[in-house]
Amino acid sequence: MSEAVTAPPAPTAAVTRHPVAPTAGRRSRYLVLSLFVLVLDQWTKWLVEAKLVHHTSFEVIPDLLSFTHVRNTGVAFGLFAAHGDVANTWLLTGLGLAALLFVGYYFQAVPLSDRPLLAALALVLGGAVGNLLDRALSGGVTDFIDFYVGTYHWHTFNVADSAITVGIAVMVLATFRKAPEETSGEVS
């Protein structure tokens, strides 16, 4: 007896698709906010550097707001200024990079359902990148927004600083908003 030998079926060309994680697309919307902050920050700093002589002011709102061109070689509010010291500049740049990596990690860990926190972290990311870029490229950050009342002046700041401050404020508010929800199920 002879048995018919059948050949195994020919392999079909299977298309392997690696879909983009569904969360990546939704999370990237927040990165557009970061990019907007970065572009606005860099554009305004460029404009100030191009149009306003260092240490001069342009009054925007009398007795309240001026644009004053200053360089900050330190961190927020001029603390820990490097004053041209390359080692201190690199130290501050490294610390800024470490903070940026932490915020980036936290941004990836936050659930997509927490939109206020994601938006807040996006603001912080955009601002941190803007200031870190300046510090790495020129050893300092251009500040120009000068609020004052009479002779009292707030520390001069920029768009990146504003985004970071607003982002942190939203994060703090979001934390307080969540606190009662998290403890409401506990039994005393």
Q: Could you list the active site residues? A: 143, 161
Q: How far apart are CA 74 and CA 186, in angstroms?
A: 45
CA 101, 105, 109 angle in degrees (round to 5)? Answer: 170
Spatial distance between the Cα atoms of 26 and 110, rounded to a whole number of angstroms: 12
Structure tokens at 128: 């941190």
Give CA angle at 66 (62, 67), nearest 5°.
Answer: 155
Residue 20 in 3-state DSSP? coil
Q: In whole angstroms, what is the distance from residue 188 CA to residue 75 CA? A: 44
Please state, in angstroms and rounded to a whole number, the distance separating the CA atoms of residues 27 and 58: 39
Strands 152-153, 57-61: pairing is unpaired
Joined tokens for residue 122: 């996006």
Laid out side by side, the sheet with 152-153 consists of 57-61, 65-72, 141-149, 152-153
